[in-house]
Amino acid sequence: MSHTAHIPSHRKPRRSASKMALRAGVTGGVLSTLAVAGASGAASAAEPVTQTIELPTLTADLSTQVAQSADATQQAAANYQLQAERDEAFAKAADQAKKDQAEAEKKAEAKKKAEAAAKAKAEREAAEKAASRSSERTTLAASTGSTQAVSAPASGSVGAVISFLKAQVGDAYVMGGTGPSSWDCSGLVQAAFKQAGVDLPRTSQEQSTAGTSVSLSSVQVGDILYWGGAGSAYHVGVYIGNGQYLDAANPSKGVVIQDLSGYPASGAVRVL
């Protein structure tokens, strides 16, 4: 025995079988790893390795979201385009409406001026005709005592009516007569005014409401006189001035000139 064997620190520890086995295993594993690494290195030197990076696969939900986002973007663009087209159409319509309004106002103003001019012309012509008729009545009234026919003035005048009536003085009275040599009261009046271009109704009842009603105090040459009520008159004649009228009186008198004082009329109407 060594002289230091009894000192603990100088004793060599015994290695247990398990530890030795563990070390042997580790050592073997390391050697195996080195061997594999060596083989891999040799293989790498012989053939290059190509690496492929794979992108993550899109899930079904993510694909749907992407598609919906694209559709929404496209729809928004379509809506914007549609709104722009609507705005443009509205602007054009408003502009056209303004032009149409201006044109309508222009036409209305032109029509108003034309109507005013036509009215003024009609009033001027009516005044001229009234003055002419007044002159004719005055002239005819001055010669009313004569039963001779006078030359007929221009068609459409009071003189044409009076001239025709005086030419029939002496003709017979026949109920329903319309000429040329026999008359009843309304038939004679109708034929006389036809010479002036005026179409009167056939009966005395209708003739009493033709034209404009005038008072007996303002009756003028050429006015129609009636006896009975307006619309129900039973007799008519024509005032020829100087308080006289001409009519187809009755079967005993025929067509004559008479004084109003002997047989006053009920009313009068003016058609010329």
Cβ pair 210, 256 in contact under 8 A: no
* CA atoms of 176 and 185, how far apart (whole Å): 9
Summarize pLDDT for 188-210 with one digit per residue, the tens. Answer: 999 999 999 999 999 999 999 99
pTM of the entire predicted model: 0.48
pLDDT tier for residue 59 given thresholds of 50, 70 and 90: low
The radius of gyration of the chain's CA atoms, rounded to the nearest angstrom, is 65
Take residue 78 and report the two structure tokens written for it: 């379509």
- Comparing 32 with 154, which gets the higher pLDDT? 32
Is residue 64 packed enough to be buried (19+ CB in 10 Å), middle (13-18) or exposed (0-12)? exposed
Peptide bond into 13 cis (omega under 30): no
Give the per-residue pLDDT at 30.
42
Take residue 185 and report the two structure tokens written for it: 């009261």
Question: In Å, what is the CA distance from 146 to each residue of 15, 190, 219?
Answer: 185, 23, 20
Helix/strand/coil percentages in the chain, nearest 5: 55, 10, 35
